[in-house]
Amino acid sequence: MSDAQPSPVDGASAAPAEGNRTFLAVLINTAAANVTTSFLWFALTFWVYLETRSVLATGIVGGAYMLLLAVFAMVFGSIVDRHRKHRVMVFSGLVTLTAFLVAGALWLAFPEAALLDLGGPWFWLFSGIILAGAVVENMRNIALSTTVTLLVPVERHANANGLVGTVQGLAFVVTSVFSGLSVGFLGMGWTLAIAIGLTLVALMHLLTIRIPEERPAAGGEPGPMVDIRGAVRAVRAAPGLFALIIFSTFNNLIGGVYMALMDPYGLELFRIEIGGRVYDAEVWGIVLAVSATGFIIGGGLVAKFGLGRNPIRTMLWIVIAMGVLGAVFTLRDWWWLYGIGIWVYMALIPPVEAAEQTVIQKVVPFTTQGRVFGFAAAFESAAAPVTSFLIAPIAEFAIIPYMEGSEGRATWGWLLGDGQSRGIALVFVFAGLVMVIAASLAFVTRSYRILSQQYRTAEVNADVAEHLTDHVDDGADDASPPVEMPEAASRGMRGSAPTPVSEEPRD
């Protein structure tokens, strides 16, 4: 990351002040919505594990979230391309609020014991409705990624994506602390009520924001709700991009291991008994909040310095570092080792995510970015639940009992020592090593060389932000007629005939 992104200069390459303010308003509002859904999501995970002590249950809940996101990501991407981004965000907020209200009604209608019965239907219905609301809220994140292209000059995309990571880190800090404290001191019922109130506040604030955007061309054309062919054509139009998505997908396969096992490990390691009362969710929530400042540092560094001249190379080196870290931060059940490891791991997440977003925002025309982001999210999100669903039962019924027995201790004691949750530690070690090998091999692929070259030369969105943000009007109605745009900006291509993906003939 030694090569900093160029700073904005006066003239055509500088983002108009109104465009910057609009982007920041959208960013803050999306962060607030993310805080709310993450607050309830973390609380649900803590509540389920603490009440059932089942790694399998938390693994299924976490995997279901990612699976639903994968199933609907393509739908979200198509919706983003066919509608104004502000309307997409409002729709997402309304659906999420409705889902949380239904979950609240279930909480009032049934006793807590019934909602915690893993063998009964109400646990799965209650959890599923909360997860559905959280998944639909992710539609806003796809829309947010496209607003970077819409409102920010191309040379500042990496910095804007880093700012997204910084704000999300701040949100994670707040979420981690208050989810644990809320579940520990208020219970799940009041936690759900708080989430409903915050969702309503974020939605009301969103209605005051105006995003300057012409009516999307794809919105006036007939087409399927899930435009898979259009997304595939858009991905194939950028050689090497599919390989990047595949690599991120594989990386998420490893991420599913951490998603399934990190919370159970932390809840056991940071379990404190004071005055006859056990504090686990509260302490683990505080630990996550402190370690989440790594998000802020990592995102802040990207916002300040960018990702260098080749974000793909930067991403691969960071993934290697993540793999090494994942293999060592549970070698002993030392709370400080795990805490520091999580902090560093979280600091590395924003640049990895920003790198992929920055590449897509530069090499994919604005008119098809929603479908490409949805396509990428579908693949990448589908990976994590695969390992989450697989590793949770394997860990609970095979690896953890094996490591608690004499044979496991004799075989791996030299590496992992003695202590609690040594089975989870063994899984982390192998997952980290696989991540290191995969990222190292990616450097020698042809796709890496092709996409790196294309990133350096692509100009498909070079003038979108400059032309579009000239039309910002804080008092304009989102439903007003579309603004006129220069031809190059309207098609997202500089100096070429308009060929939006959605206009190509369908079979």
* pLDDT digits 0-9 by tens, 160-200: 888 877 776 666 667 766 777 788 788 888 999 999 999 99
- Give the closest residue to 370 by CA, choosing from 502, 209, 490: 502
Determine, yes or no, domain membership for 246. yes
Q: How far is CA 128 from CA 12, 58, 59, 107, in A?
A: 48, 13, 14, 13
How many helices (H) and strands (E) the chain has is answered by 21, 2
The answer to whether 169 and 350 have CB atoms below 8 angstroms apart is yes
pLDDT at 492 over 80: no
Neighbour tally for 469: CB within 10 Å = 21
Q: What is the pLDDT of residue 379?
A: 78
Q: What is the pLDDT of residue 417?
A: 84
Determine, yes or no, domain membership for 9. no
Determine, yes or no, domain membership for 414. yes
Q: What is the pLDDT of residue 56?
A: 72
What digits encode the pLDDT tens for the residues 377-425?
887 777 766 776 778 788 888 888 888 888 888 889 888 888 778 888 8
- Give the closest residue to 450 by CA, choosing from 366, 361, 358, 363: 363
Q: What is the pLDDT of residue 376?
A: 84
Q: Per-residue pLDDT averaged across 49-57, rounded?
A: 74
Q: What is the pLDDT of residue 320?
A: 92
The model's confidence at residue 17, banded by pLDDT at 50, 70 and 90, is low
Higher pLDDT, 176 or 82: 82
What digits encode the pLDDT tens for the residues 428-452?
899 899 889 988 998 988 888 888 8
Which of 15-29, 52-66, 352-366, 383-397 has the highest average model confidence (pLDDT)? 352-366
Q: What is the pLDDT of residue 489?
A: 35
Cα 8 to its chain centre, rounded Å, is: 27
pLDDT at 495 over 70: no
Question: What DSSP character marks residue 215?
Answer: P
| Opening angle at CA 129, ends 125 and 132, nearest 5 | 135
The model's confidence at residue 1, banded by pLDDT at 50, 70 and 90, is very low
Determine, yes or no, domain membership for 155. yes
Determine, yes or no, domain membership for 482. no
Q: What is the pTM of this model?
A: 0.68
The model's confidence at residue 493, banded by pLDDT at 50, 70 and 90, is very low
Q: Per-residue pLDDT averaged across 366-375, rounded?
A: 84
Determine, yes or no, domain membership for 446. yes
Which of 40-49, 168-177, 424-433, 456-465 has the highest average model confidence (pLDDT)? 424-433
Higher pLDDT, 129 or 232: 129
pLDDT at 25 over 80: yes
CA 319/CA 254 separation, integer angstroms: 11
The model's confidence at residue 83, banded by pLDDT at 50, 70 and 90, is confident
Determine, yes or no, domain membership for 2. no
pLDDT at 351 over 80: yes
Q: What is the pLDDT of residue 477?
A: 42
CA 19/CA 33 separation, integer angstroms: 21
Q: What is the pLDDT of residue 152?
A: 81
Determine, yes or no, domain membership for 166. yes
pLDDT at 497 over 70: no
Q: How far is CA 474 from CA 21, 160, 211, 402, in A?
A: 10, 21, 8, 63
User: In this structure, what CATH number is given to the domain that contains residue 56?
Assistant: 1.20.1250.20
pLDDT at 63 over 90: no
Please state the domain count of the chain. 1
Higher pLDDT, 386 or 307: 307
The model's confidence at residue 502, banded by pLDDT at 50, 70 and 90, is very low
**% of the chain residues with pLDDT over 70:** 79
pLDDT at 210 over 60: yes
Domain that holds residue 68: 17-212+225-460
The values of phi and psi at residue 12, to 5°, are: -65, -25
Residue that is written with structure tokens 């693949």 in the block: 379
